[in-house]
Amino acid sequence: MYQSIKEAVKNIFGSEVRIESQQSVSGGDINEAYRLLLSNGEEVFLKTKKGAGENFFRAEAKGLLALKEAGANVPEVLGVGNESLGERFLLLSYERSNRPARDYWTLLGHNLANIHRAQTASWTKDGVYGFYDDNFIGATKQKNNPKSGWTEFFRDNRLGAQMKFADHYFAKEDKRLCLKLLDKLGDFLVEPQFPSLLHGDLWSGNVMPDRLGKPMLIDPAVYVGHHEADIAMTELFGGFSPVFYAAYHEIIPRNPGYVERRDIYNLYHLLNHLNLFGSSYLAAVRRIVKKYVG
C-alpha cells in the first residue's frame, strides 16, 4: 500500500524513474483513468477514485490475480495506494491496443470457458460459492459470503442485497413481487454441474485487446458461481460476436433452459445500475420481476 503515486513508481521501476506525462483515458463511469509515460520509456495505467475505501482497489487487484491464476489474460497488478486528500489509486501495466487479433472472439470464447472450468477451491473459504473476500460491482459493495448452494448464494448475496439497496425506488407492489421472486428463486435457477470463477461484470467494455491484439479482461467483480451468470451478462448490453458464443460452447455446452434463466441473472446488474445511476433502470427491473412472478 503506497502513500503516493510517485512513491509507487520509484519503488516499482527504480528511484531515478519519474512520471514524464499523464494522459486521461476515457471509458469508465466509476473511476478516473490515465496513461502514464515514465522517464524510462515504459507506460503504466493509473486508476484513481476520491473517497473510496481502503479496500476498493485492493479488491480489484485480488480479482485480477484470481483471474490470472485461472488462466485469464489480465493486466499486471503493479501496486495500490492512497494519494493525498483520500484519493485511492491502482497501478497496472498498460496493454491497450486498437487492433484486435483476427481470431479475437474465438480466443475469448475458449479462454473464458477454460477459466470457468478451473478448480475453484482456493478462492472460497467455507463454501462452494462466494469468494474469500468481499469486493465491488462498479462502486457497489458486493458481499461474497460463502454458501453451499448456488441458488442460496444468488438469492442472499446478489438479488436480495441489491433489492435492499433499491428499496427506496420500489412501490409497495414492487416490494411484494421482489420478495415473492426471492422466495421462488429455486423454481427458476438450477445448480451447476461445477462451480466456476466468474469475471462478474462481463460486458463489452470490460474486454479489450492487449498489445498483441489478444482479448484481455479488466475491471472484474469476481466470485465463484454458475458460469451462466457471466454468459448472461455478455448478452445484456448488445451482446458479443456469435463467434465468441460458438467457441465458448465448444468447451462448455449450453444448458437446457438457459434462455429462460438469463433475465434473472441480468436482473442483478439492472438492479445495480438502478442503485448506481438512478430510476431510468426501474422499468427494466419491474419488467423482469413481473415476468417471473407477476
The residues carrying an active-site annotation are 201
Between CA 35 and CA 89 the distance in angstroms is: 13
Q: Which long-range contacts (CB under 8 A, 24 or more apart) does 108-111 make?
A: 108/207, 108/215, 108/240, 108/244, 108/247, 109/243, 109/244, 109/245, 109/246, 109/247, 109/248, 109/249, 109/250, 109/251, 110/247, 110/248, 110/250, 110/251, 111/71, 111/72, 111/73, 111/215
15 Cβ contact list (under 8 Å, min separation 6): none
Nearest Cα neighbor of 78 from 51, 45, 107, 50 is 45
User: What Cα–Cα distance (Å) separates residue 211 from each residue in 45, 96, 214?
Assistant: 13, 6, 7
Between CA 259 and CA 264 the distance in angstroms is: 10
